[in-house]
Structure 1
Amino acid sequence: MEHFDVLIVGAGLSGIGAGYRLQTQSPDRSYAILEARDAIGGTWDLFRYPGIRSDSDMFTLGFPFHSWAGKAIADGTDIREYVNETASTYGIDKHIRFGQKVLRASWSSETAQWTVETNDSSYTCSFIYTCSGYYDYDQGYVVDFPGKESFGGTVIHPQHWPEDLDYAGKRVVIVGSGATAVTLVPAMAGTAEHVTMLQRTPSYIASRPAADAFADRLRGVLPEKLAHRVVRTKNIVTSTLTYNAFRKFPSHAAWLLNRMAAKQLPDSIPADPHFIPKYKPWDQRLCLVPDSDLFRALRNGTASVVTDEISRFTPTGLLLKSGEELEADIVVTATGLRMVALGKIELTVDGRPVPVSETFVYKGMMLSGVPNLAWCVGYTNNSWTLRSDLSSQFVARLLNHLRATGTDICLPEIEPAEYDAPRRPVVDLSSGYIQRAAAILPRQGPNGPWRLRQNYPRDLFTFRFGSIEDGVLKFTRREQAAAGRRTAHSGG
């Protein structure tokens, strides 16, 4: 059974970033990355539907240590190549074990180690860092609409897009109004005979240029790394201020977003009800469309939008609750993703199963009552990588602190008063995919290190410079933990 100081789960953006931080900031620790699939890239390798792209600017979604040289809003293929290039440049790819889906992890206080079981191997390690995100890679969320078996066309989910799907000249209905749907519509429009976005309720949609003119100018006069750092800082400040303003003045933000959408719509498509959401901006993640491509498809007539609910499938399409029938050759169910906690890994601590949904998240990354384990979770109001990189730097600091203090175990412990406080899901948005998973995800507490804040400047200070010894994270030596466990078992 192979042993590593650290096992990283997942070789996507987060996992590759974690490998870099470990080998540069905690270089004396051995590590391996266990990847369930046979390729690097995570989400950006899994999703292959037409038009897939970033919904955050790549200067902040990309790594701070490896400059991004392309457009601000990038295609999925370019992002996948960038992640692979980063892994190869820094030798991180040599640490990856492919085809290793982690099934179970068992902690022993006697040895201060985890035993990690995959689909075909076993490992031991001193620390686990799960960087597999919180999406279920096996399947997306599928609504079981009545009558689907009677439909004579093709029904597909974007998460499992067929490579040989030919939609040229076909009538396509895309069910959904989130980021996936607003990406698919303009990507398929023009090739398909017609594309209809069928939504139950609208989402807030904002347009922005795919290219960053400021970045392009700056890269012409400054060295690449310096230009990248300046643009990244500018984008962080801009996105943080915008988010805070939208949350503080939601009615003004809603008016602005609705007005911007209305100005880009053709006369045949009224903003209400198709582009006037009922929730506040950033109660759900904002949908981004580069260069107004969605609105352009609506204006030129290659795409349309219908706001209604599905009654059932018919042999030739979809019957709506209003009585209207949409004819279709292909129905794309962009109905959302399924969320999971820690990649569905079964955890046990000293023989006791860990009900993950009953744990609280310390600093948005460690679980109460679970030693030597971190879970990488990014921002919902900003680029994922901004927070995932801070988490990886904190893990490196934590490992260095363990070695410097001669301790083996770090364990976040929550006070009973905080445990009894009203619980909130770790991801605090009203989006359907998050609400469906609320019962299985870890919780966040009301305040302090148990609250996951959407605040990069504050997290930057806390994760990089804040004290490791905060009174909440407990540090012990293996011998102490083992003796304490034996005493507890003997009833002493």
Structure 2
Amino acid sequence: MTDHVDVLIVGAGLSGIGAAYRLQTMCKGKTYTILESRSASGGTWDLFRYPGIRSDSDMYTLSYPFKPWTHGNAIADGEDIRRYIHETAHENKIDQHIRFGHRVTRASWSSEEALWTIEATNDERPVVITASFLFLCSGYYNYDAGFTPEFPGLEDFQGEVVHPQFWTDDVDYDDKEVVVIGSGATAITLIPSMADRTKHLTMLQRSPSYIISLPQDDPIASFLRKVLPLGLAHRLTRRKNAALAIGFYVFAQRFPRLASRLLIGAARKRLPDDLDPRHLTPDYNPWDQRLCIVPNSDLFRTIRHGKASIVTDHVAQFTKTGIDLESGDHLPADLVITATGLQVVAFGQIEMDVDGEKVDPHEKYVYKGMMFSGLPNFAWCVGYTNASWTLRADLTMQYVCRLINHMDANGYAFGMPDPTGAEGESAPLLNLQSGYIKRVAGMLPQQGSNSPWTIRQNWFLDSRDSRRADLDEAMVWTVRKPVAVAG
């Protein structure tokens, strides 16, 4: 037998659980199922278990607007975030709709039946489900493989090499020489979390990242929770933090040199005076790549106390005892951690076809940041690159629910953004210059230069427009066929 639901959600992480909540509250009566490839919910926060794993956004914007964040830490560790997601699923009985261990492999659309047929595997057994609407909430990176460059001589290295995405509890770094390759959010999280137990820890970076220190707790949020109802305090804190994040992004885009001086200057004040400035000076403008956050200056403090050091250089080759650098220096290492990035994928690596024609994601244009030209009854939940993921994700969830209700009210069997997509010059879907984005630019969908074919990195403008959105704009609708009645 083939099961059928009104909406199939793929992924039981932060986005999938939020999407299910919105469906339950905004589209009452609609049936749904969540397919999750892993054995537990939580998504990113269940997968990553490396030391110090934490949010790279404040939790008042990363958390759901309908479930206030009450923990003391604004920058939270992975376990607290995972617990928060589990609580949300349990409190709203969403966990009863999750099928764990189900990996979606294919999705086929039939215009004749107005249905998606979704193929999945569960313990290598095939599973087939049909759905009227397909909602991907599985993020945009590969859960099965991280990115590691091909390092010459790696097979000669006699120590251990670990990618953070596949960290296990038996990784031993006590009293060892450790080299972390990378300078992004993962690297700057690992170093202060491991440094007290290592002999020495070195961050080897090809180029620096912009790093900003924020307080671990939010005193304004704590005060508001004391004097205001919890829900109101959460909404005000959320708006305050969103305004700060987006305001600095806009400032950095308009005045990149000034923003660069401010960020580098703030970092230098927290680091030893004799530290070479090139270790802190990126070769790009702020927000060309994602800004890295450290709570309470923990990374700077670790370096200042001599427990860790920074080396800016390139790997020439691995040796038996460590890494030879292009400068001629040698880094001794017992353990090398390749914090070298993620592998970004489109549409969760699901093979898709529409009426028998294979879908090439790169040929599609994003519509209002969530749907795609020529793909019927389909949405992909992708968050902001310049602010908290959930700010954008929750707008997408609510829009999808309004769209489903709009279809029912007008007797539409299905609808899709105009198959011709945007006119004029196109741009990449994700507007960052990070290596993990540039590597897959030719695989991801594109965006245009004008609304509704662009992604605007501004939650306040998007929030306003989302409430006033024309649900028929650039959409092609198909009316539900009348049912023949005997006699």
Which of 422, 428, 433 lines up with 1:430 in the alignment? Answer: 433
4+ aligned runs moved over 6 Å, structure 1: none
Other structure's SS at 1:72 match: coil
Q: Measure the CA separation in 2 of the matches of 1:168 and 1:437.
A: 37
Q: Measure the CA separation in 2 of the matches of 1:236 and 1:331.
A: 36
Partner of 1:242: 248
Indicate yes or no: 2:167 matched with 1:165.
no
**Deviations 1:380-436, CA, capped at 9 Å, x for gaps:** 0000000000000000000000000011111101547x34x2221100110000000
Indicate yes or no: 2:324 matched with 1:319.
yes
Partner of 1:468: 471
What does 1:74-93 correspond to in 2, within 5 Å?
74-93=76-95
Q: Measure the CA separation in 1 of the matches of 2:379 and 2:397.
A: 9
Which of 282, 290, 294 lines up with 1:277 in the alignment? Answer: 282
Q: Measure the CA separation in 2 of the matches of 1:343 and 1:47.
A: 18
Larger deviation: 14-23 or 235-244? 235-244
Q: Measure the CA separation in 1 of the matches of 2:391 and 2:55.
A: 14
Which of 83, 96, 102 lines up with 2:104 in the alignment? Answer: 102
Other structure's SS at 1:121 match: strand
Q: Measure the CA separation in 2 of the matches of 1:370 and 1:221.
A: 48
Which of 393, 397, 402 lines up with 1:392 in the alignment? Answer: 397
Q: Structure 2: which amino acid aligns with 1:460?
A: S
Q: How many pairs were matched up?
A: 476
**Deviations 1:13-39, CA, capped at 9 Å, x for gaps:** 000000000000011211011101010
Other structure's SS at 2:323 match: strand
What does 1:12-27 correspond to in 2, within 5 Å?
12-27=13-28
| Deviation, structure 1 residue 478 | 4.2
Q: Measure the CA separation in 2 of the matches of 1:126 and 1:314.
A: 56
Other structure's SS at 1:137 match: strand
Partner of 2:358: 353
Indicate yes or no: 2:60 matched with 1:41.
no
Partner of 2:239: 233
Q: Measure the CA separation in 1 of the matches of 2:205 and 2:369.
A: 33
Q: Structure 1: which amino acid aligns with 2:293?
A: L
Other structure's SS at 1:106 match: strand
Unpaired runs of 5+ residues, structure 1, are: 481-492
Which of 444, 447, 454 lines up with 2:447 in the alignment? Answer: 444
| Deviation, structure 1 residue 301 | 0.5
Work out the percentage of aligned pairs sharing the same amino acid. 55
Would you say the 8 A contact 1:426–1:442 is kept in 2? Answer: yes
Indicate yes or no: 2:59 matched with 1:53.
no
| Deviation, structure 1 residue 114 | 0.5
Q: Measure the CA separation in 2 of the matches of 1:263 and 1:237.
A: 26
Partner of 2:485: none
Q: Measure the CA separation in 1 of the matches of 2:49 and 2:209.
A: 23
Q: Measure the CA separation in 1 of the matches of 2:251 and 2:475.
A: 34
Would you say the 8 A contact 1:110–1:479 is kept in 2? Answer: no
Q: Measure the CA separation in 1 of the matches of 2:223 and 2:199.
A: 40
Q: Measure the CA separation in 2 of the matches of 1:425 and 1:478.
A: 35
Indicate yes or no: 2:347 matched with 1:342.
yes
**Deviations 1:116-146, CA, capped at 9 Å, x for gaps:** 0001311000000000010100000011101
Q: Measure the CA separation in 2 of the matches of 1:287 and 1:237.
A: 18
What does 1:367-386 correspond to in 2, within 5 Å?
367-386=372-391
Q: Measure the CA separation in 1 of the matches of 2:463 and 2:24.
A: 20
Q: Structure 2: which amino acid aligns with 1:141?
A: F
Could you tell me the TM-score, scaled by structure 1's length? 0.95
Q: Measure the CA separation in 2 of the matches of 1:105 and 1:165.
A: 38
Q: Structure 2: which amino acid aligns with 1:441?
A: L
